[in-house]
Amino acid sequence: MEYIFTNVPHWHILLNHFPSIGFVIVIGLYLTSLYLKSEDLNRASLILFVVLGLLAIPTYLTGLATNWVVLNTTEISADLITVHQDAALITFIGLSTTSFLSWLALWQYRRFSQPTALIKWGVLVVAVISIVTLLETGSRGGDIYPVIPIDAGVDIAAQASSGATESLKAYIFNSPWIWPAMEATHFIGMALLFGVVLFVALRVLGVAKIIPFQAVHRLLPLGVLGLVVNVVTGMAFLIADSQRYTAIPAFYWKLALITIGGIAALYFTIFSHPWSLKAGDNASPIAKVMAAVTILGWAAVLLLGRMLPYLEGV
C-alpha cells in the first residue's frame, strides 16, 4: 500500500502528458479532417478524443491523491495545490465532454452514416476550450514548486479558499441529502451501464441470436449515459472525501479497469464485424473475446466499487 500511495505523484506526472500533448495533436488532426473532408481521418481523431478523455480520469484522480502525498511537505504551498486542482477540475469537465461528444459522433457514424453538424462542430468548440483550460492547469501546476516565482499581486490564499473544489466539498458535506442522493444516482447509473454492457456483450457471445446486432447497437447511448452519470457522481464522492478513497490500493485497480473497460467498449461502436451480425449469426472469435473482456472488466469495477469501504487499510 505504501509503495502505491507514495508513487502516485510519479504516475500523475506521467499521465498528465497524454491529455496535455495529445489534445493539441488530435485537434490538429480533427481540423485537417474537416478541411480535407476525410471521414477516415475524422473517425480516427474522434477515437483518439475518446481515449484521451478516458485517460483524463486517472490523470485527474491521481492528482487528487498527489495532494495528500505532498500536503505535509513544507516547501510546497497547499493553497497553490488547491488552485491547481480547481483549474484541473474545469479541464477534466472539458476533456470528458469532448470525449462524450466524440463517442456520440462515432455512434452516429455507425447508426446514420454521418454525425450531425451540431455534434461535429460541438466536438471542435469544446476541444478548443479544453486546450485553453489545459494551459491554465499546466501553468498552475508549474507554480506549485518553490523554485518558480509567483506574481506578488495574485492572492493565492483567497483563490484557494473560494475555489470550485473547496466550494463543492463544502456543499456536499453541509447538505444532509446530497450524499445519499448521489449514492442512489450512482447506483442507477451503474445499473444502466452494466445492464447495457451485459446485453450487448451477451448477444455477441451468442445469447439471444434471434436479435440482429443493429437493434442492440441502439442501446449503446444509454450505456454511455450510465457511464457519464457514474463519472459525475463518482468525481463528486472523490472530491468530497479524496483522502479516504485515494489511500485504498484497490481504488487504483478500479481506476485502471474503468479506463480499460471504456476502451474495450469502443470495439462495439467502431468496428464493422459486430455491426454486420444478422439474426442467427455467430460473432467472430475476436468479437467474443472483446465481449468477455468487457463483461469481466465492468463486473470487476462494480465489485471493487462495492468493496472499497471494506478494503480500507488492506
Measured between alpha carbons, how far is residue 126 from residues 88, 99, 182, 303 in Å?
A: 15, 10, 26, 34
Q: Model-level pTM greater than 0.85?
A: no
Share the mean pLDDT of the chain: 82
Count the Cβ atoms, other than its own, within 10 Å of residue 13. Answer: 14
Give me the pLDDT at residue 137, please: 85
68 pLDDT tier (thresholds 50, 70, 90): confident
For residues 5 and 263, which has the higher predicted lDDT (pLDDT)? 263
For residues 135 and 126, which has the higher predicted lDDT (pLDDT)? 126
Give me the pLDDT at residue 157, please: 47
Give me the pLDDT at residue 220, please: 87
Q: Among 123-127, 270-274, 301-305, name the one with the lowest average pLDDT.
A: 270-274
Cell 477540475 belongs to 89
- As a residue count, the chain comes to 314
Contact 114, 108 (CB under 8 A): yes
Give me the pLDDT at residue 98, please: 95
**pLDDT, tens digit, 9 for 90 and up, residues 179-210:** 889 999 999 999 999 999 899 888 888 888 88
* pLDDT surpasses 70 at 5: no
For residues 85 and 189, which has the higher predicted lDDT (pLDDT)? 189
158 pLDDT tier (thresholds 50, 70, 90): very low
Q: Which three cell numbers stand for residue 62?
A: 491521481
Residue type, 290: M
C-alpha–C-alpha distance, residues 263 and 257, integer Å: 10
DSSP string, 134-187: HHHHHHHHHHTSTTS---TT--HHHHHHTSHHHHHHHHHHH-TTHHHHHHHHHH
Give me the pLDDT at residue 105, please: 94
Positive or negative torsion for Cα 19, 25, 29, 34: positive
* pLDDT surpasses 70 at 177: yes
Give me the pLDDT at residue 16, please: 84
Nearest residue to 107 via CA among 269, 274, 281: 269
Mean pLDDT over residues 14-26, rounded?
88
